[in-house]
Amino acid sequence: MKAKSKTRRRWFGGICLLVAITMLVIGQTILGNRLQPLALFAYWSICFILTGIAACVALIDASRVRAEQRDDQRALIESTIQEIEREKRSRQNRKG
């Protein structure tokens, strides 16, 4: 389930960013002089909102990745400690 959620989140952010970049290029090359002021404002507002959404998705993804790494590291430390304790008990049983 984590992988599907992560993949979906990354695709959504990437698509938002791709659309925003496409809008930027089209707005600067083709539509810059052709749109009325209100339409131009709406166009750039949508571009800005898409960029903001992509940035928010990236921040959410980064925090989730950090949390996953922290959980993985904690699990690794716990399993290592358990292994050390097992080895210690095993050595004590051989001596005693």
pLDDT tens string 11-25: 999 999 999 999 999
Confidence band, pLDDT 50/70/90 cuts, at residue 96 = low
Domain ranges for the chain, please list them: 2-95
Distance CA 4, CA 12 (A): 12
Confidence band, pLDDT 50/70/90 cuts, at residue 1 = low
Q: The whole model's pTM is what?
A: 0.76
Distance CA 87, CA 72 (A): 22
pLDDT tens string 59-74: 999 999 999 999 999 9
Confidence band, pLDDT 50/70/90 cuts, at residue 33 = confident
Distance CA 3, CA 55 (A): 20
More confident residue, 94 or 38: 38
Amino acid at 44: W
